Amino acid sequence: MKVLELSQPSVLNVRERDEPVPGAGEVCIAVRACGICGSDLHGLDGSTGRRIPPVVMGHEASGVIESIGEDVSCWMVGDRVTFDSTVWCGECHFCRAGRVNLCDHRQVVGVSCAEFQRDGAFAEKVVVPQRIVHRLPVGLSFEEAAFAEPVGVALHAVARAGEVRDKTALVIGSGLIGLLVIQALKSAGAAVTAVDQDESRLALAKTLGAEHVALPNELSKSDFDLAFEVVGIAPTIQLAVNSVVKGGRLVLVGNLSPEVPLPLQAVVTRELDVLGSCAIAGEYPAALEAIATGAIQVKPLISGLYPLDDGAEAFAAAGRKGALKVLVTPSEIL
């Protein structure tokens, strides 16, 4: 089968590999669409330590089950599916508590690091455990279904904030995840203000549900109940802290920088809740439903579709200014 392999830092090649064979409890999925994640772009040069070559990246995917291993009870050949980006063990304390994103033995599809290597879905086929697979709603396209992972990330971030209905929420960063968080908040009944440096992104944010938009230097209101930081750098963390009321809540979603200064005195004296949000913990069904019903729109976020043979060009397009989500289509979308 064909795969798009990160063969060495910043070098992508289409290669032939042996057909994957599902083991016990696993399914083999013929991949129809797979999105290029920001973490794939950031890991391309090897600097993050999360994409050590050689590896097949890709974890935002959808497709059709082509074959099943022994002891697979929930799935049949021909089922239209997506799958969790996290491979969780199901046995540790966190898995038993439903916090599968914190699994002690967590692996991420399409990631290669010091702890593990697990090839992903920039390939004609990928094998995953049946326990992380989810069925597509009738009529949902493969392109839209490939957004289940980032939509799940947004829904998890909103869930971390608790009850948001009738609260004011500031979303800092109107990239892909920020735009999904905006829609998730609006759907949950919050009044949303979006902040970004890119006016075209702000225009899209308003189209997708933000009541107000502002450039960072235009933000005058500093009494939001909630702030969602979806960038992950020092200035936007500072902006988030400064923007909420006393007793307000911050949800940190972005992690572009591994470390940032924290305005500790402001957090302590204003008694702010600071919450991290990592990946997805059971939100896949809700994400698929939100996409299928139109509660969260993903079609306006598609910046391009590329066949697997043009994978390097797809990554170049995904890295261009203004791109939101570029999808690779390893096999024919029917």
Answer whether residue 101 shows pLDDT above 70. Answer: yes
Q: What is the distance between the alpha carbons of residues 2 and 242, in angstroms, rounded to a whole number?
A: 50
- pLDDT (tens digit per residue) in 271-292: 999 999 999 999 999 999 999 9
- pLDDT (tens digit per residue) in 297-321: 999 999 999 999 999 999 999 999 9
- CATH code that applies to domain 2-147+298-329: 3.90.180.10
Average pLDDT, the chain: 96
Q: What is the distance between the alpha carbons of residues 262 and 236, in angstroms, rounded to a whole number?
A: 11
Instruction: Please compute the mean of the pLDDT values over residues 110-116 and round it to a whole number.
Output: 96
Answer whether residue 15 shows pLDDT above 70. Answer: yes
Enumerate the CATH 3.90.180.10 domain ranges in the chain, comma separated. Answer: 2-147+298-329
* Residue 247: per-residue pLDDT: 97
- pLDDT (tens digit per residue) in 31-78: 999 999 999 999 999 889 999 999 999 999 999 999 999 999 999 999
Q: What is the distance between the alpha carbons of residues 118 and 71, in angstroms, rounded to a whole number?
A: 22
Instruction: Please compute the mean of the pLDDT values over residues 145-151 and round it to a whole number.
Output: 98
CB atoms within 10 A of CB 168: 21
Q: What is the distance between the alpha carbons of residues 277 and 156, in angstroms, rounded to a whole number?
A: 7
* Residue 333: per-residue pLDDT: 55
Instruction: Please compute the mean of the pLDDT values over residues 239-257 and round it to a whole number.
Output: 96
Instruction: Please compute the mean of the pLDDT values over residues 329-333 and round it to a whole number.
Output: 79
* Residue 210: per-residue pLDDT: 98
- pLDDT (tens digit per residue) in 188-240: 999 999 999 999 999 999 999 999 999 999 987 789 999 999 999 999 999 99
| Confidence band of 8 (pLDDT split at 50, 70, 90) | very high
Please give the share of the chain, as a percent, with pLDDT higher than 90. Answer: 96
Q: What is the distance between the alpha carbons of residues 7 and 13, in angstroms, rounded to a whole number?
A: 7
Answer whether residue 114 shows pLDDT above 80. Answer: yes
What own/partner pairs with CB < 8 Å and gap ≥ 24 does 197-205 have?
198/174, 198/322, 200/322, 201/174, 201/175, 202/174, 204/174, 204/179, 204/300, 205/171, 205/174, 205/178, 205/179
Instruction: For residue 30, give the H/E element and its range.
Output: strand 26-35
Q: What is the distance between the alpha carbons of residues 227 and 167, in angstroms, rounded to a whole number?
A: 11
Answer whether residue 332 shows pLDDT above 90. Answer: no
Q: What is the distance between the alpha carbons of residues 10 and 18, in angstroms, rounded to a whole number?
A: 24
Instruction: Assign a CATH topology to domain 155-276.
Output: Rossmann fold (3.40.50)
Least Cα distance to 178 among 202, 161, 199 occurs for 202
User: Distances from the Cα of 37 to the Cαs of 44, 63, 137, 220, 284, in angstroms?
Assistant: 11, 17, 23, 32, 17
* Residue 46: per-residue pLDDT: 86
Phi and psi torsions of 250, nearest 5°: -110, 135
Answer whether residue 268 shows pLDDT above 70. Answer: yes
Structure tokens at 113: 């690091």
244-252 and 107-108 strand pairing: unpaired
3-class DSSP state for residue 25?
coil
Enumerate the CATH 3.40.50.720 domain ranges in the chain, comma separated. Answer: 155-276
Q: What is the distance between the alpha carbons of residues 67 and 7, in angstroms, rounded to a whole number?
A: 28
